[in-house]
Structure 1
Amino acid sequence: MPATKPEQKPRLVVLGSGWGACRLLKDIDTRLYDVICVSPRNHMVFTPLLASTCVGTLEFRSVAEPVRSIQPALSLLPDSYYFLARCTDINTDQHEVHCEALQEDIDDGKGEGGNKFSVAYDKLVIATGAEASTFGITGVHEHALFLRDVKNAMDIRTKLLLNLMKCEIPGTSMEEKARLLHCVVVGGGPTGVEFSGELSDFIRHDVHHKFAHVKDLIHVTLIEANEILSSFDVRLREYAVNQLTKTGVKLVRGMVKEVLPEKLLLTDGTEVPYGLLVWSTGVGPSPFVRNLPFEKSPGGRIGVDETLKVPGVEDVYAIGDCSGYLERTNKTVLPALAQVAERQGKYVAKALNKMAKAGEGHAKAHITPADPFVYRHLGSMATVGRYKALVDLRESNKSRGLSMKGFLSWIVWRSAYLTRVISWRNRLYVAVNWATTFLFGRDISRF
């Protein structure tokens, strides 16, 4: 698409459809900007509830919100578009992004490439997120499943149910059954802990009733190199350990050395056979981000200043997991959390709206917002099984603040996430799914 003409509104190009990108799309004033979103995923994923979809507590559409619903202008306005594509390069001199349309496997962004095209921008916001960290461990990409997208959750659910059904086939040895039904989770952060809790709850309340022939063979192991939920209050960590252990999750402290097709090796020489391996060890910069010719922050992300702008480049911002403060800013490293990305998206949208209202939105010159971005941590929450959760509302790196655990925390956890789901449609889906699961158990259909 060619550059905008003087009589047109300035064009804002947004790369990505995660928390930061979608909050920006929601808040940007489309009376001031033409908006183009480029992403290999046409929906935003409500990641805090993604683990629940793996075992049938929630259905997949409950956690996916279409980009066009978040910002209707992408469909309704003549010069605003959503492109199902991935950005391959950015030409900052020409104010262009080079893209490649997708044809297959659009959910994970790794499908076969299609038509190549370029889009000129007046303002560019990079919000492409990050990818799962494997620390260079051999075999992870080939044999492990990740939990970052709806497609990942679908793969996990399919694999889990397939293994349960394989074990009921006559002729399957006890050793093979034990391997198939050993679910291993690597990574003791909130995602790994929540998935382990959901899985143990699924085993105790659904597998024991619907797969009675193999109910005594299935179990869960959570492997973490250090402490689980390291960012939480120590009392909450201890509660999480006790609760997971009580529900049958085996906690192993160790580091993975190599992943083989049917087992993984720890650095101490221990072999751990598995039928399902879920990898949840944090995130790092994607190849696209690493290859961009921008100054990088510690850790390899796109470096930004206090206003989330990429220094030395006109009209380019970076938000969310793909970005980080440059070392010279002396700013605290922000965690890779949805709430960080969402508030960055809100901040940049407000700044861009302010510029355009001042009649400067079309200008090529750099205009710095008056106030730098300030992040205030609102707290962390995690569920650790049926009717049990953790709520840590302490300020970052400080001991003061409220922290709770148990049933009341579980009520707070569900209430908070139900109200945070973007659309009323999906809130209804989530509420109905929770009620259906409570009354009738989880759906164990395999498609």
Structure 2
Amino acid sequence: MNVKTLTQTTDLQVTTVRPTMQRTLMMSMIALSMGGMSVAAQAQTQQKNEIEQLKQEVQALRSLVEQQKVQNTQTATAIANVQRSAAAAPANPVLKTAKGAEFNLYGNVRLDASYQVEGTSRDLPYNHINAVALKGNSENSDRLRSTLSATRLGLDFKTQAAEQEVKGKIEVDFLGGSNFDNLRIRHAYLNYGNWLMGQTWSNFAIPDYMPETIDALAFVGGAVKRTPQVRYTAKFNPQTNLVVAAEDPKDSTVSQRLPALTARLNHQFTDSLNVSARAMGHEKRINSAEEMAWGVGLGAKYDVVPGTTLKADYYHVKGDSSFVSFTNSGVVARTDGSLVQSEFDSIMVGVTQKFSDKLHGTLGYGYMSFEEDKNYIAALADKTKANKELWQAWANVFYSPTKPLSFGLEYVYGEREAFGAAPNGSKTGEDNRLNVVAIYNF
């Protein structure tokens, strides 16, 4: 084969091979393109699936949040309803007067009995340590006395006046009169804002710091005085307030023309310690003679430990016998018409122990000492009726088997020393008694 023939043969082969290679290359590119398209389609499909899944999760989360909101709203509504119900539910059934004022009725039936072991001159079931018989002089020992005179009935009122609430109280018992057997007003007052007008506990001689007793008239060093008054309370902060008042002490020993002015500062140091500082001033007038009576007081209540409470109350008073109980006459007129004044210090202290929800008891002591003013003593018509010293000690226990019922037992012993001696020479008298009480509260 010559060269020309070989060349032609080769060209023919190359021409034949090129179309085949081109077709193969094209098919490969098409396959690659289709493969790429398939991968892209798969990626797009997967992305769509993920987006759809994410949408479903977001929707589920949104539903959960909405459900939680509904539950929270329902819970808040339920709590508000409970709070409204609790606030609306009164401690006692609420009644209304014809004028629309709400009121609650409360009170108790109380039976007191006293066995006088030694020394009284009056037929009374309650304390009168300042007037017990001197030894050997008209003593009435080994006597039982009982009464229901301390039975009590009260009404608490409340009404709305403009934007201010007006509250009031009326409370009576049967301890009025010289024999303590007549109906009397204990409290009758109204509260309007920071003002109080009416009769209630004196702003000076308050019973808040007296240790607990069964005796309805309390013991030496205490005061159970209720006076007609107008008073105002200024609150400095939740722990401190000042109460000022103009009071009518109803002192029958003088010709009264001005009210007594009293002030009381209360402060709570801690949840367990409260104190009260008080002051009093009052003009005493007999005929044309005048003297100024004054007094100060300090009380404290301290919860030593849960269930154990200590109370103490102190007074120093000159020229007054209308606030603190069991005192000598505050002023006495001399033959020349001038006035002389009595002056005394008194203290009462006691501890109350709670043994259980049904049982508690108190130990207490009271003491009163009068200044030995010779001019005052000389002006007395009967020196055996004025005292140099008084003291009493007592112990009691209260038992409440159920909520409305309470029973108490108390022993008290005390003595008085008079300025003057009785015909037999005695200057002392004693009070030796056993008290019991049964109370039904309603």
Larger helix proportion, structure 1 or 2?
A: 1
Max Rg structure = 2
Greater relative contact order structure (CA < 8 Å, 6+ sep): 1
TM-score, normalised to structure 2's length? Answer: 0.24
Larger strand proportion, structure 1 or 2?
A: 2
TM-score, normalised to structure 1's length? Answer: 0.23
